[in-house]
Chains A and B, each alone.
Chain A
């Protein structure tokens, strides 16, 4: 899915001594980047650990408030559970245990869904979130860019699409997440309004179940798609108009290039800032979309974050944010790598730095 990496002119690999020199530069560049990422991960994970632990309230107390216990029993169970979660230890020790678990791939035990493992909860939820958000973001990006570019050169389309785009972009998402399910679910009964699949089915690798997944997936997907579409379209329209008017386009026209070729290059240049927006959105995709997932009771990471916050589930919250941190850093790292091979200006600047 997504467009193929563009093959820009001048992308042929270097030869001979130039190539060796470039490899050295690339290695030095990667080491510098990796160090930055490790440092960023350390700081990010520390903040991730710190925020829930510094929140007011006590998760064990909240957990035991559901027990309806006699006072004597409460004291003993409070001690047991505090020990089980390690919340009785000094903060410094808790911090050390956090890192110790983290390097062993152990994110601990959830409090709100005790005694489920945090990793189990997260891995159960991740597929729903990715399946919901990646298509919604990528498809709205593709469709929005096409529409925006088309609007930039057709007056009629511009006059209709631009106001529509502004309206879509200005719609408060929670409102859309109420109105669409109300119309398509409650009034016309076209789509179900909640859940990841039909509750009368059991998860299985069968067409019945998969179609139920798709059926429940469509409405939340549609709401995210719609609100993202307007923004992409307007952004692309403005960028293309700007590119068509700038000096490089004029120069191409002066050289006798066809209007079609000028438009193609303008579109490509205009895509760059759009792509950066796309990258930012995809980087945080593992965080889920909290509002969508609550509104549709969609069993992804956003809903899990909400549960973790309301129940002060330190460990679940930490675990999810670790995944978000990794997701963002990974996205950045991949961008850094791809950027070396894709953008000719980068390579030129690196050579320049070396020679």
Chain B
């Protein structure tokens, strides 16, 4: 009979299932009586065996700053050279650079160095006196020289190419003399000064070459404002370093005793954690945050602050380009690229897709901090703006024959996916047929690297202190089969422009006339050729909840700093000032 056969055939499964259920249930429940708490031993052992023992069972809320928006993986390493995924705060809270770059005032602040001066082919660094490593050893010029030498000799050091023109770095007391070959790479070296960490020679020199760069460094010894306290798979916690040099020398201090950075969840999780004041300082992209900040005339009641009280709300962090694959027709035709540029209305993307928390890009794509490098006469002569009629004229001369052009962005990047549908509409309006594709992040990276795409959105060039690295990304040659370094993904060949970029890199930063002239030429070339089409500036997302902490960095206050914990900001730009400016919302009782 059918029924019996069925029951009999599955009996062997059925009987075993009971046993399996019991084994698994026991496995999860045997560790402690309520079955759910079995999660505990795993995490406890992780925290107690791997991490330095925490001093408390929890963090006192009024003394703790909770941050999020930076970490996407469980904290597992504090190696400042592992730029890909060191735990939040490794650079900035523990390790520090020689200078800080201030993108708002476009200047450098002396940090572990008190001064740095060029004299011919020699750069002299005065290392700050009275700085101690957190193990008590004083910081000396030898540590700085060691860090520079490490970058020169260890080819895997991520700053290796920044020191490619350095011939020697020697210390005498706290004076470090860095000698360069006949043609110093000024721009690369300038980046080294504010991006690279100074590491302790007495610890790093004992590590193997591979460990120096990729070791986990779970007991970090730095000069920075905080010490690693504890960590577990969901967060990393730091406590104040009472011996931090800037307390006495610069009068900076953190009013919170602990800083806990939480590994990111999804957007809705982060938004809810922020509004519930579980997170004080969020660097997440939270669509619609403007409603919480300025809704009901600023009285929405959430106590959420952003850098600007109204649009654009956020500082700008990088330029989003529409990137045409210029090795393929019709994208190889400049008229087609111009048609794209004139057909798209970035203002609509900013207002509809981002509800005003980003801003439309300058036609050169250079970020606002570099506006002094933008030549207004070049932009007014060659710049483009939204003009569908003109776009149609360019399209008619472009050799476009009505074929479908693909436009790809990574799946799950919802704001970009929304932007692509606006772009597709704009382009359809002038007669360009766009088919949108959303591959996985990795597959999309592979497509762009190998030049297997038509159009893509890309924002590889991040906030930097000079236009040099921006134009390096645009014009880098030679073009390889695999453009793995993420340079020149649009595969644009312009040897004259590339030569100008190299000249700019080799021009002393003091020779501003020469630099201005080079950058004007590059901007003119860029706008006439349009190797990429700059669309809008993504924000340096920041929103702070004022329930526990106030005085977040804001425009028009004495605290005009970068309130961003991301790698490349904390410990490179002015995040540390913004942290020191925070005060408790309620004075301690």
Cα separation A75 to B480 with both chains bound (whole Å): 13
B1 at the interface (CB under 8 A from A): yes
* Minimum distance in angstroms from A340 CB to a CB of chain B: 9
- Whether A2 contacts B18 by the Cβ 8 Å rule is yes
Whether A64 touches B164, Cβ cut-off 8 Å, given contacts A5-B18, A58-B446, A80-B210, is no
A38 at the interface (CB under 8 A from B): no
User: Which B441-475 residues have a C-beta within 8 angstroms of A?
Assistant: 441-443, 445-446, 449, 462, 469, 472
Cα separation A113 to B61 with both chains bound (whole Å): 28
Hey, which chain A residues are within 8 Å of B38, CB to CB?
Answer: 127, 130-131
Our pick among B1, B23, B28, B82 for the contact of A131 (Cβ within 8 Å) is: B28
Cα separation A209 to B39 with both chains bound (whole Å): 11
User: Which A98-140 residues have a C-beta within 8 angstroms of B?
Assistant: 110, 112-116, 120-121, 123-128, 130-132, 134-135, 137-138
Our pick among A199, A204, A309, A331 for the contact of B16 (Cβ within 8 Å) is: A331
- Whether A3 contacts B18 by the Cβ 8 Å rule is yes
A54 at the interface (CB under 8 A from B): no
Flag B425-442 by CB within 8 Å of A: 1 or 0 each. 000000000000000111
User: Which B289-334 residues have a C-beta within 8 angstroms of A?
Assistant: none
Hey, which chain B residues are within 8 Å of A203, CB to CB?
Answer: 40, 43-44, 46-47, 232
| Chain-B contact segment, one of A39-47, A65-73, A88-96, A251-259 | A65-73
User: Taking CB as reference atom, which chain B residue is nearest A312?
Assistant: B442
Cα separation A10 to B377 with both chains bound (whole Å): 98
A55 at the interface (CB under 8 A from B): yes
Whether A76 touches B155, Cβ cut-off 8 Å, given contacts A56-B442, A210-B34, A242-B3, is yes
- 4 A-B pairs besides A127-B28, A194-B269 with CB distance below 8 A are A112-B85, A123-B42, A311-B73, A334-B16
A36 at the interface (CB under 8 A from B): no
Q: Can you list 16 A-B pairs with a CB-CB distance of less than 8 A? A: A4-B18, A5-B15, A71-B485, A73-B158, A81-B214, A114-B214, A126-B42, A134-B28, A197-B39, A204-B44, A204-B57, A242-B3, A272-B11, A279-B16, A339-B13, A343-B12
- Whether A68 contacts B27 by the Cβ 8 Å rule is no
Our pick among B61, B216, B273, B445 for the contact of A194 (Cβ within 8 Å) is: B273
* Minimum distance in angstroms from A62 CB to a CB of chain B: 5
- Whether A73 contacts B7 by the Cβ 8 Å rule is no
| Chain-A contact segment, one of B199-207, B258-266, B338-346 | B258-266
- Whether A134 contacts B57 by the Cβ 8 Å rule is no
Flag B26-38 by CB within 8 Å of A: 1 or 0 each. 1111011011111
4 residue pairs, one from A and one from B, having the closest CB atoms: A335-B16, A275-B14, A279-B17, A57-B442
From DSSP, what is the main secondary structure of chain A's interface residues?
A: helix
Our pick among B11, B56, B445 for the contact of A339 (Cβ within 8 Å) is: B11
* Minimum distance in angstroms from A265 CB to a CB of chain B: 11
Cα separation A221 to B37 with both chains bound (whole Å): 13
User: Taking CB as reference atom, which chain B residue is nearest A286?
Assistant: B24
* Minimum distance in angstroms from B132 CB to a CB of chain A: 28
User: Taking CB as reference atom, which chain B residue is nearest A4?
Assistant: B18
Whether A338 touches B162, Cβ cut-off 8 Å, given contacts A76-B156, A199-B234, is no
* Minimum distance in angstroms from B49 CB to a CB of chain A: 10
- Whether A274 contacts B14 by the Cβ 8 Å rule is yes
B576 at the interface (CB under 8 A from A): no
User: Which A152-194 residues have a C-beta within 8 angstroms of B?
Assistant: 185-186, 193-194
Cα separation A154 to B63 with both chains bound (whole Å): 60
- Whether B77 contacts A115 by the Cβ 8 Å rule is yes
B21 at the interface (CB under 8 A from A): yes
User: Which A269-295 residues have a C-beta within 8 angstroms of B?
Assistant: 269-276, 278-280, 282-283, 285, 294-295
A28 at the interface (CB under 8 A from B): no
Our pick among B7, B16, B77, B159 for the contact of A336 (Cβ within 8 Å) is: B16
B556 at the interface (CB under 8 A from A): no
Cα separation A77 to B161 with both chains bound (whole Å): 11
Our pick among A123, A210, A275, A310 for the contact of B17 (Cβ within 8 Å) is: A275
* Minimum distance in angstroms from B401 CB to a CB of chain A: 29
Hey, which chain B residues are within 8 Å of A248, CB to CB?
Answer: 4
A230 at the interface (CB under 8 A from B): no
User: Taking CB as reference atom, which chain B residue is nearest A215?
Assistant: B36
- Whether A73 contacts B161 by the Cβ 8 Å rule is yes
B105 at the interface (CB under 8 A from A): no
Hey, which chain B residues are within 8 Å of A70, CB to CB?
Answer: 161-162, 188, 191, 469
Cα separation A270 to B7 with both chains bound (whole Å): 7
Whether A114 touches B12, Cβ cut-off 8 Å, given contacts A2-B21, A338-B19, is no
Whether A335 touches B13, Cβ cut-off 8 Å, given contacts A56-B443, A124-B43, A127-B38, is yes
- Whether B462 contacts A68 by the Cβ 8 Å rule is yes
Interface centre among A68, A195, A311 (most CB of B within 10 A): A68
- Whether B22 contacts A73 by the Cβ 8 Å rule is no
Flag A234-263 by CB within 8 Å of B: 1 or 0 each. 000000001100111000000000000000
B476 at the interface (CB under 8 A from A): yes
- Whether B82 contacts A73 by the Cβ 8 Å rule is no
- Whether B40 contacts A210 by the Cβ 8 Å rule is yes
A205 at the interface (CB under 8 A from B): yes
Hey, which chain A residues are within 8 Å of B41, CB to CB?
Answer: 127, 205
* Minimum distance in angstroms from A63 CB to a CB of chain B: 5
B160 at the interface (CB under 8 A from A): yes
Hey, which chain A residues are within 8 Å of B440, CB to CB?
Answer: 57, 309-310
- Whether A67 contacts B84 by the Cβ 8 Å rule is yes
- Whether B462 contacts A217 by the Cβ 8 Å rule is no
* Minimum distance in angstroms from B15 CB to a CB of chain A: 4
Cα separation A77 to B159 with both chains bound (whole Å): 10
B272 at the interface (CB under 8 A from A): yes
User: Taking CB as reference atom, which chain B residue is nearest A331?
Assistant: B20
- Whether B85 contacts A113 by the Cβ 8 Å rule is yes
Chain B residues bordering chain A, tally (CB within 8 A): 107
User: Taking CB as reference atom, which chain B residue is nearest A273?
Assistant: B10
Our pick among B57, B232, B485 for the contact of A75 (Cβ within 8 Å) is: B485
Our pick among A1, A199, A335 for the contact of B66 (Cβ within 8 Å) is: A199
A21 at the interface (CB under 8 A from B): no
Cα separation A61 to B442 with both chains bound (whole Å): 9
B390 at the interface (CB under 8 A from A): no
Cα separation A338 to B16 with both chains bound (whole Å): 5
Cα separation A116 to B75 with both chains bound (whole Å): 9
Hey, which chain B residues are within 8 Å of A127, CB to CB?
Answer: 28, 31, 38-43
B83 at the interface (CB under 8 A from A): yes
Hey, which chain B residues are within 8 Å of A221, CB to CB?
Answer: 36
Hey, which chain A residues are within 8 Å of B568, CB to CB?
Answer: 68
Flag B100-115 by CB within 8 Å of A: 1 or 0 each. 0000000000000000
- Whether A210 contacts B160 by the Cβ 8 Å rule is no
Cα separation A57 to B72 with both chains bound (whole Å): 20
Cα separation A134 to B21 with both chains bound (whole Å): 7
Cα separation A273 to B3 with both chains bound (whole Å): 10
Hey, which chain B residues are within 8 Å of A345, CB to CB?
Answer: 8, 11
* Minimum distance in angstroms from A157 CB to a CB of chain B: 23
- Whether A210 contacts B32 by the Cβ 8 Å rule is yes
B74 at the interface (CB under 8 A from A): yes
Cα separation A213 to B6 with both chains bound (whole Å): 42
Cα separation A181 to B66 with both chains bound (whole Å): 23
Our pick among B22, B46, B84, B233 for the contact of A2 (Cβ within 8 Å) is: B22
* Minimum distance in angstroms from B284 CB to a CB of chain A: 13
Interface centre among B10, B56, B73, B188 (most CB of A within 10 A): B73
- Whether B28 contacts A130 by the Cβ 8 Å rule is yes
- Whether B19 contacts A116 by the Cβ 8 Å rule is no
Cα separation A81 to B486 with both chains bound (whole Å): 17
A20 at the interface (CB under 8 A from B): no
- Whether B28 contacts A280 by the Cβ 8 Å rule is no
User: Taking CB as reference atom, which chain B residue is nearest A55?
Assistant: B442
A196 at the interface (CB under 8 A from B): yes
A18 at the interface (CB under 8 A from B): no
B373 at the interface (CB under 8 A from A): no
A346 at the interface (CB under 8 A from B): yes
Cα separation A56 to B453 with both chains bound (whole Å): 14
User: Taking CB as reference atom, which chain A residue is nearest B216?
Assistant: A115
B587 at the interface (CB under 8 A from A): no
Interface centre among B18, B85, B235 (most CB of A within 10 A): B18
